[in-house]
Every structure is written in C-alpha cells, then in structure tokens.
C-alpha cells in the first residue's frame, strides 16, 4: 500500500513525502540510464499510464473530498518537475551520443581549410597612411563633392576661361557649369571660404578627367590634396612636410626635390620628386636611371586664390600640394601599370597585401 491509512484518511503531508521519495528514485534511475531504451523504460516505470505516478493519482480517492483538489494540484506540479528531469536526461544523452559520433567521424589531425582574409586595397592604404601622417601633425581631413561647379573647380582656383583644362576635352561635364571635379583642389576654396585662417587640411578623394586608359592614366583616379595657410608660411615648410611624408611612406632614406613648374593656382609652382625607393637614388629601370621619381605637384597658393577665398594675401601665405595615391601604391609595390590597381584581380591584390 502506497499511502498508510491514518484515521481512515490520508494527510497531504504524507502525499508530499511520497512524491519526494518518487523524485529521488527517478533521479537515481535516470543517472543509470546510458541509452535511450533504458531511459524510456525508466520514464514508463515512473510516469507511464501504469507507472508509479498513476498509483499516486488513484490514491486521491482515499482523501477527504475537501482535500482532493489541493492534492490534485500538488501531483500535477510534481509531474511537471518529473517530466523536466526526464527531458534533461534525454538531452544529456543526445549530447553524449553526438560527442561520441564526432569523435568517431572527425580526424582532428586533418589539415584545416584555409580561409582567405581580406586586406585594404593598396590605394586605400596609401590614402589612409598619408592622411594619418598629416593628422598626427594637426591637419584636418576633409572630403567634398565629386560633382563640382565650374566656379569651384576652375574660376576660384585662378584657372582662366581659356585654360586648356576648361575645354570639354579634358573634363566630364554633366551640364554647362557643372562637371565631375578634375582635381580635389575645389575643397581648398570651399574650406577657406568656410573658415578663417589658419587652415591646415588634407583632402583625399576621387578626381575625373577624360584620359584614355593606359599604363599611366585612368579617367578616374585619386588625389590627396594638402593646404596650409597661416602667417609666415613658406616653401621650406612644404619641403619639410613632404620629406617627412615620403620618409613615412617609403623609408628613412627619402629626399625631396622641387622642379620649377606652372600651375594656375600656385606661384611659384613646383613638381615634386622623391628619391626612387627602388634604387635609393643610384638609378634603376623604375626611375629611368635618374634616381628620382615624380610624385606630385605643389607650390605657394596664388594670391588671387587667397583673395577669392576671402583671405588677405598681405597677412597670410600658404602652400598646397597634390600627390597621387595610385602613384604612391605603384612606387611602394614596384607596379609599372596603373591598370593593375583597377582590375582588382584578387590574386594580384593578395600579393600586394
């Protein structure tokens, strides 16, 4: 007999004791079940239609009618707990079975699958490295529109209407007065018009020109523009800053050489050469034996450009330069054809990473 009679009725406390004992025995039985068949046997023995819990339910009939609903609730709650124990044991068995299966089927000594990791494009890296160099020196990095007005792209930069660059042959016009910017220089004027001096900015971005694609040209290319305007600024500062930039990018042996040139927006103007990193100046195929490579243009900001921007050329002076990230990447990696950088062959890019 499960429940001892007590004055002809069975107390709730005895029911609780019985359920407690049942729980303990079920837990023990589950611990010895090592496969699903044994586990199912345990479940049936305790929770099945003819299992122990059914006997407990039947005993409700021996309780005084007033206590039966409470006893029913207690048994239902106990059953929920018991079923959870069985489910947990079943899950543990399933995990153990999976582990055993994995141990049988996986050869941990087998070489893994190599996953290709991405890397920054050489042009992106050149831009980020150059901008980081200037940011460390207090320059702000600003970007601007790739669609520009004729005013900011040409007029404000002292590029007269009869300049060859103004003719549609060299520029992509969207409609009269509006074009794809041919350089990042419009941001010089835009920044100066927005802020009073001193100004120290670099402008990385894309520029567009109607060039046929060949080993040296592409109709879309990148520029990094630099501008420093403050009282007393002179070319010596520019040479120092650019020497530092190229040493940062190419190595400590780099020197800078200015060659007189002409740009409408600077006066005086200079082409910028730096030591050929391929031969460190002794002459090689990359530099055509000169020991120098051309890497950008520069000069002192033309007084007319300062005036147009609302600055007084009598109180402030400034320099500006532009270098090509593609050129930097080509020099860094010994590439002699710019198309390599735009074709984006993953095998080639992986070599340059």
Residue whose CB is less far from Zn ion, 122 or 291: 291
Residue whose CB is less far from Zn ion, 136 or 285: 285
Least distance to Zn ion, CB of residue 348, Å: 22
Least distance to Zn ion, CB of residue 161, Å: 41
- What letter does residue 351 receive in the DSSP assignment? H
- Which span (79-87, 118-126, 268-276, 340-348) binds Zn ion, by CB under 5 A? 268-276
Q: Does 272 participate in binding Zn ion (rule CB under 5 A)?
A: no
The answer for residues whose C-beta is within 8 angstroms of residue 305's C-beta and 6 or more apart is: 156, 157, 158, 188, 189, 265
Q: How far apart are CA 96 and CA 33, in angstroms?
A: 12
Cβ contact 53:46 at 8 Å: yes
The binder of Zn ion chosen from 23, 149, 243, 286 (CB under 5 A): 286
Residue whose CB is less far from Zn ion, 2 or 279: 279
Q: Does 284 participate in binding Zn ion (rule CB under 5 A)?
A: yes
Residue whose CB is less far from Zn ion, 165 or 279: 279
- Which span (163-171, 187-195, 225-233, 283-291) binds Zn ion, by CB under 5 A? 283-291
The residue with its CB nearest to Zn ion is 276
CA-based torsion, 70, 72, 75, 80: positive or negative: negative
Least distance to Zn ion, CB of residue 286, Å: 5
Start-to-end Cα distance in the chain: 81
How far CA 238 is from CA of 72, 227, 258, 299, 300, in Å, comes to 91, 10, 10, 8, 9
Q: Does 278 participate in binding Zn ion (rule CB under 5 A)?
A: yes
Residue whose CB is less far from Zn ion, 33 or 276: 276
Least distance to Zn ion, CB of residue 217, Å: 22
Cβ contact 225:322 at 8 Å: yes
Q: Does 255 participate in binding Zn ion (rule CB under 5 A)?
A: no
- Which span (79-87, 199-207, 252-260, 285-293) binds Zn ion, by CB under 5 A? 285-293
Residue whose CB is less far from Zn ion, 158 or 275: 275
Residue whose CB is less far from Zn ion, 38 or 286: 286
CB atoms within 10 A of CB 299: 25
Q: H or E element: which one contains 12?
A: helix 12-32
Phi, psi values for residue 117, rounded to 5° = -95, 145
Least distance to Zn ion, CB of residue 285, Å: 7
Cβ contact 264:153 at 8 Å: no
Least distance to Zn ion, CB of residue 243, Å: 18
Size of site (CB under 5 A) for Zn ion = 6
- Sheet containing 173-175: order of strands: 147-149, 178-180, 173-175
Least distance to Zn ion, CB of residue 281, Å: 7
Q: How far apart are CA 343 and CA 205, in angstroms?
A: 19
In the complex, the residues that contact Zn ion under the rule CB under 5 A are 276, 278-279, 284, 286-287
């Amino acid at each position: 007999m499960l429940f001892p009679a007590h004055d002809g009725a069975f107390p709730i406390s005895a029911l609780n004791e019985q359920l407690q004992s049942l729980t303990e025995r079920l837990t023990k039985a589950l611990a010895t079940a090592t496969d699903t068949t044994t586990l199912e046997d345990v479940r049936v023995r305790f929770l099945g239609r003819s299992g122990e819990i059914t006997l407990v339910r039947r005993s409700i009939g021996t309780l005084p009618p007033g206590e039966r609903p409470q006893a029913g609730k207690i048994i239902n709650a106990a059953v929920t707990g018991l079923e959870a124990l069985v489910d947990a044991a079943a899950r543990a068995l399933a995990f153990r079975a999976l582990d055993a299966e994995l141990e049988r089927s996986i050869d941990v000594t087998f070489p893994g699958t190599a996953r290709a990791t991405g890397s920054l494009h050489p042009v992106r890296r050149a831009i980020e490295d150059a901008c980081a160099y200037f940011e460390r020196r207090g320059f702000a990095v600003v970007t601007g529109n790739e669609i520009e007005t004729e005013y900011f792209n040409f007029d404000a930069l002292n590029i007269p209407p009869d300049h060859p660059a103004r003719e549609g042959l060299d520029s992509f016009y969207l409609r009269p007065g509006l074009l794809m910017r041919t350089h990042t220089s419009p941001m010089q004027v835009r920044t100066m018009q927005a802020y009073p001096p001193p100004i120290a900015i670099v402008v990385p971005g894309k520029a567009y020109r109607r060039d046929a694609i060949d080993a040296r040209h592409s109709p879309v290319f990148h520029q990094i523009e630099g501008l420093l305007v403050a009282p007393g600024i002179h070319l010596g500062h520019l040479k120092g800053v650019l020497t530092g930039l190229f040493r940062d990018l190419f190595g400590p042996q780099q020197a800078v050489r200015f060659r007189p040139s002409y740009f409408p927006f600077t006066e005086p103007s200079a082409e910028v050469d730096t030591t050929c990193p391929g031969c460190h100046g002794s002459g090689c195929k990359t530099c055509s034996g000169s020991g120098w490579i051309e890497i950008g243009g520069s000069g002192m900001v033309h007084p007319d450009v300062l005036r147009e921007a609302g600055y007084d050329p009598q109180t402030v002076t400034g320099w500006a330069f532009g270098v090509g990230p593609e050129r930097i990447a080509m020099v860094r990696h010994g590439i002699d054809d710019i198309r390599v950088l735009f074709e984006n062959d993953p095998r080639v890019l992986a070599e340059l990473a």
